[in-house]
Structure 1
Amino acid sequence: MPQRILIAFDESPQATAALRHALSTYDDAAFHVLHVNDPREWSAADGIDGFLYSEDAFERSQESANALLEEAEEIAREYDVTIETATEVGTVTETIVNHAEEHDIDHIVLGSHGRRGLSRFLLGSVAERVAKRSPASVTIIREEKPSDE
């Protein structure tokens, strides 16, 4: 039975590097690419539980997630690999870990840093929290910076 690999995917260069790493490293694997749509990124403050949820903002975030997963599928075609994609709404760490548990994932690959913004600094490292809580082994990929030669 092929190994089941989960790749956490967002719009960061590190996520793209993680996807490319997984596709080029794991032969004969079943690839699951997950984008987490975190409501804290598309909602405004002062609503329910401190957040105001807008149907418009949610729809735009889902459209963006779908476009992002289409980009992941294009990258997979470069490697002649078929991937399964999903987007889930929730907090990033918990959603990745839950997805791994629910889909019997053997290994998780994710970027060292994801989305930019204040939440990354306030909430800490998603990669670190996933590594600590994951039911599977985890590989964290850091995008190499080009040299200034």
Structure 2
Amino acid sequence: MYDAILVPTDGSEAAMDAAKHAFSHGERYDATVHVLSVLETSESAAIVGRGNEKLETLREQGDESTRRIVDEARERDIDAVGAIEFGNPDRAILGYAADNDIDLIVMSTHGRSGVGRFLMGSVTEQVIRDGDVPVLAVQR
């Protein structure tokens, strides 16, 4: 049913919770788990004029959060690959899903509602709304 599963990560424990669900599906369907860290364009734009140190720090953080999930998947004998992209998170996630024939996206949601949701927005909600790939939203 699923050959390729995508887990976007921001390095949070909520993302690790989502990864555990992805591992379960990966084991059940013998699917490859793709782990994606998106470094937001707005953060990248904020570093202009500050040199490459901030950019490198962001890249290292993305690499670490991606590697953590990939390593855990491989410990469970699940095929896993990691990637880092720059840009708007929901667009980068959907673009990666399209480019890599992803069958399922498993991602966390913080369960915000009301004003918090309005002010903060929801990457998960945007992916669900704008994408054509099934999304398993894991609420923390």
| TM-score over 0.5 (shorter chain) | yes
Partner of 2:37: 35
Query: How many residues get paired?
Result: 132
Cα distance in 2 for partners of 1:65, 1:53 equals: 21
Using structure 1 for the length normalisation, give the TM-score.
0.78
Residues 53, 111 of structure 1: CA spacing in aligned structure 2 closer, same or farther, 3 A cutoff? Answer: farther
For the Cα contact (< 8 Å) 1:24–1:79, is it kept in 2? no
Greater percentage in helix = 2
Partner of 1:47: none
Aligned ranges 1:52-63 → 2 under 5 Å: 52=48, 54=50, 55-63=52-60
Q: Measure how far apart 1:90 and its partner are.
A: 0.5
Q: Measure how far apart 1:43 and its partner are.
A: 4.5
Cα distance in 2 for partners of 1:13, 1:42 equals: 23
After TM superposition, the structure 1 stretch with the greater mean CA deviation from structure 2, 122-131 or 35-44, is 35-44
Partner of 2:114: none
Report which of the two structures shows the higher radius of gyration computed on alpha carbons: 1
Cα distance in 2 for partners of 1:40, 1:126 equals: 14
RMSD over aligned CA atoms reads 2.3
Residues 107, 63 of structure 1: CA spacing in aligned structure 2 closer, same or farther, 3 A cutoff? Answer: same
Partner of 1:64: 61
SS of residue in 1 equivalent to 2:106: strand
Partner of 2:119: 122
Q: Measure how far apart 1:135 and its partner are.
A: 2.1
Cα distance in 2 for partners of 1:38, 1:53 equals: 17
Which consecutive unaligned segments of at least 5 residues does structure 1 have? 45-50, 115-119, 144-149
Which consecutive unaligned segments of at least 5 residues does structure 2 have? 112-116
Q: Which amino acid aligns with 2:99?
A: E
Q: Measure how far apart 1:2 and its partner are.
A: 5.5
Residues 53, 107 of structure 1: CA spacing in aligned structure 2 closer, same or farther, 3 A cutoff? Answer: farther
SS of residue in 1 equivalent to 2:10: coil
Partner of 2:98: 101
Cα distance in 1 for partners of 2:107, 2:13 equals: 11
SS of residue in 2 equivalent to 1:52: coil
SS of residue in 1 equivalent to 2:95: helix
Q: Which amino acid aligns with 2:104?
A: H
Percent identity of paired positions between Structure 1 and Structure 2: 34
